[in-house]
Structure 1
Amino acid sequence: MEENKDEETCLEERSSISSPHESLFFVLAYLPLFQLLSMTQVCKSIRDAINNDILPWMNLIVEPPLSCRLTDDILIELVVSKAKGRLQILALINCVKITDDGLSRVVAQNPHITKLHVPGCTSLSPEGVIKAVKFLSENNHNLNTLEINGIYGIHKEHLQTLHKLINHNQTQHNQDLNKILYHEYTKSSTLKHNDTNRPIDVDVCPKCDEVRMVFDCPRIHCECRGCDLCITRCIECGICLRGSDEEVEESCCEDMLCLECWLKLPKCNFCNKPYCNKHADQQHRVLGSIGFVCDACHSNFN
């Protein structure tokens, strides 16, 4: 009898150890795609939870290192088998293998996308993006934001067409929203429209008249506005580096910094230059030292 009890106790302990904690299943929907796919290899219960639950797949954000591996077929398989037509956010960051055909097929099966972000997807064309946005703008669908920086061949005519489609879409959404607010007498944040003056991440630069990302200076009383090719800015704080009285400093990654930001950043042990926060992962740590060595000094040192 005692041996049977001991065996039962061991089986209970093994089952309790092998089964994941219940709280783990609540965080699956908040994991980035790379970690989410990695979790499917942990155990069968977590894999089934990820594959059978639609919530983690309503927002599909593909970032490096997965970006270079994503193709049209893989994207469509993911969207069809996981999102099942309920995709709300589609963000493809630097996915150079995604084409117009792949994007249009995904959009056609997921008409409720509210955020479409495809920066750096160089295989997409302006016409393909317009086709996707036009589809999402039909039948009172609500596309709030569009990111297309890095797509080649975008001209002012394309940008005007996209603005017309999105603005018309937002007007329809505001009319429907006003009816809801009128009947319910509420101003809940879940009902408020995301009012933004720049639903598209690119604009026409007032200096070079090209379609690029256009920035405003965060300086007080400074009204400079232009793309990064027309106006040199600090990579950290974004202020314009203009005028002979402005002290401009270089970083290890060759980005420009204002003196204030340069002083705040940690410096290379040899050349006394910092990395900006965007390229901080290029630092080489030295054993037994609290500082770092930049890539150039590390190559010379070796």
Structure 2
Amino acid sequence: MTEDKEQDTCSEQESSPNEAIFFVLSYLHLFELLAMAQVCKSLRDAINSDILPWLKIVVDRPLNWRLSDEILMKVASKAKGRLQVLALINCVKITDDGLLRVVAQNPHITKLHVPGCTSLSPGGVVTAVKLLSENNHKLKVLQINGIQGIQKEELETLHNLINQDQIQKKRCNILYNEYNKLSTLEHIDSNRSIDVDICPKCNDVRTVFDCPQVLSHNECRGCDLCITRCIECGICITSTQELEEASCSDTLCLECWLKLPKCSFCNKPYCNNHADQQHRVSGSVGFVCATCHSRFN
């Protein structure tokens, strides 16, 4: 009997997670947090009872395509009305109703990111920002790139709702490749207030970029439809410069093209955003692009 009790005690001690794990919960992304809650009962209870891990909700791949209004409400409710950051990256199923319900129950959100949420309407975003602007609360950062149909009047309303002085002080030159990596808290914590503007070329509301090599030259300022830019360094590529194609069909300047590793067959590189598509060759330091890999296999 004594040996059985000792074995049970040892088994319980071995199954109990190290206390250090509980200190990292607030640093985990949503996917990791939900996966951690499935490990054992003690971790599940700790995650569900602690508000701190839920103050910043960032939904990116692979959860974004599966996130619905109902699931979002369930996740956001864990913050108990104290949600500070809501980042929904390419969450195509989230509607105006789902967003407004979360915003109404969490009036202290200071950073709202909904890029690529194609089921949201400009009117829904304006209403959400109005709700967050009540009771002298100020939304600090808004990212809405990819939401279709935003009119100049609606953009002006958003600018008026967010502290205009703050916008002028924190406005900075936007590098093109930052928007292809918008899935981490580092980018979510950027100091831009609104990520879209009126393009001086086409006069539409889009993400407007500045050429990092010609910061004071307004001719290089425009959206990606009006000005071709290198996906790596963000510089504009004029008609007098050579356009270099990557294996992922993105555009590269000659300098960036020369620096990147090339496919062993077609001699085309991947940009850093699509480097995970490389197929490694056994016994070689090189790689094969997806096109060549499918062709030869």
Give the TM interval when normalised to the shorter protein.
Answer: 0.7 to 0.9
1:217 aligns with 2:211: yes
- 1:138 corresponds to: 134
Match of 1:258 among 240, 253, 258: 253
Name the counterpart of 1:178: none
Q: Take 1:31 and 1:236, find their aligned partners in 2: how far apart are those partners? A: 28
Secondary structure (helix, strand or coil) at the match of 2:65 reads helix
**Structure 2 residue 248 is the aligned partner of structure 1 residue 247:** no
Stretches of structure 1 that go unaligned for 5 or more consecutive residues are 172-193
Alignment counterpart, residue 150 of structure 1, candidates 133, 143, 146: 146
Matched residue type, 2:40: C
The unaligned stretches of length 5 or more in structure 2 are 168-188
For the 8 Å contact 2:262–2:270, the answer to whether it is kept is yes
- What is the aligned counterpart of 2:266 among 271, 278, 290? 271
Structure 2 equivalent of residue 301 of structure 1: 296
Give the TM-score, by structure 2 length.
Answer: 0.87
Paired positions, count = 274
1:208 to 192, 198, 202: 202
Q: Distance in 2 between matches of 1:27 and 1:301?
A: 45
1:58 corresponds to which residue?
Answer: 55
State the one-letter code of the partner of 2:196. V
Rounded Cα–Cα distance in structure 2 between residues aligned with 1:39 and 1:111: 28
CA drift at 1:56: 0.6
Query: Quick one: distance in 2 between partners of 1:228 and 1:169?
Result: 27
- In structure 2, the partner of 1:232 is 228
Distance 2:190 2:90 in 1: 27
Paired residue type of 1:131: T
Task: Give the equivalent residue in structure 2 for 1:15.
Answer: 12
Could you tell me how far apart the structure 1 residues matched to 2:215 and 2:209 are?
15
Of 140-149 and 259-268, the range deviating more from structure 2: 259-268
Aligned pair 1:114/2:110, yes or no? yes
**Letter matched to residue 108 of structure 2:** H
How far apart are 1:221 and its partner, in Å?
Answer: 5.7
C-alpha contact 1:142 1:169 (8 A) present in aligned 2 = no
Q: 1:46 aligns with which of 43, 53, 58?
A: 43
Which AA in structure 2 matches 1:199?
S
Counterpart in 1 of 2:122?
Answer: 126
What is the identity, as a one-letter code, of the residue corresponding to 1:99? T
Kindly provide the amino acid, as one letter, of the partner of residue 208 in structure 1. C
Contact 2:138 2:163 in 1 (8 A): no
1:160 is matched with which residue? 156
Instruction: Confirm or deny: 8 A CA contact 1:142 1:170 kept in the other structure.
Output: no
Q: Report the residue type matching 2:243 in the other structure.
A: V
Maintained 8 Å contact 1:143/1:169: no
- Shift in Å, 1:57: 0.6
Q: Say whether 1:281 aligns with 2:276.
A: yes
Query: Which gives a bigger RCO, structure 1 or 2 (Cα 8 Å, sep 6+)?
Result: 2
Post-superposition CA distance 1:59-116 (Å, at most 9, x none) = 0100011011111111112212x11101000000011111111111110000000000
Q: Which has the larger radius of gyration?
A: 1
Mapped to 2, the partners of 1:221 and 1:140 lie a distance apart of 35
* Cα shift at 1:37: 0.5
Q: Is the 8 A contact 1:122 1:152 kept in 2?
A: yes
In structure 2, the CA distance between the partners of 1:28 and 1:263, relative to structure 1 (3 Å rule), is: same
Which residue number corresponds to residue 37 of structure 1? 34
Report SS of the residue matched to 1:215.
Answer: coil
| Aligned equivalents of 1:254, 1:288: Cα separation in 2 | 28
Pair 233,195 (structure 1): closer, same or farther in 2 beyond 3 Å: closer
AA matched with 1:38: A
